[in-house]
Amino acid sequence: MNFTPEEIQAIVSQAREQARLAAEQALARWGDRDACGFAWCEIFHVKGNTRLGKMLKAAGVRQGYERSWQLWNPSGLGVQSVSVLEAGAQAAAEVFRKHGFTAYANSRLD
């Protein structure tokens, strides 16, 4: 995958925007009365010492302990409902997959 820093920044911005829209739709549908939890988008198979890894880091994506790249609460909504946050994480993962990344949504209950 050959991306410029600007392209990576645009992909991350697009992922955050799509996550926000999906989470807002879920919030309007279900409200903030579901189980409390967290959700994030995880990107795999990108090493941190590569050009792509450095560009992801510069764009605000952080590398986790398992060496995957994680975008926590990509929607940016300050809600507790895990269903709302999962909707955002799934939308963000879909954006990354469209650009050739191996990306998945992940969540956990609190």
**Domains identified in the chain, total number:** 1
The tens digit of pLDDT for each residue in 24-80 reads 999 999 899 889 999 999 999 999 999 999 999 999 999 999 899 999 999 999 999
CA–CA separation, 54 vs 84, rounded Å? Answer: 30
Domain containing 82 equals: 5-109
Task: Give the confidence band of 1 by pLDDT, cuts at 50, 70, 90.
Answer: confident
* Residue 12 pLDDT > 90: yes
Say which residue the tokens 């010492």 belong to: 49
Label residue 110 by pLDDT band (50, 70, 90): confident
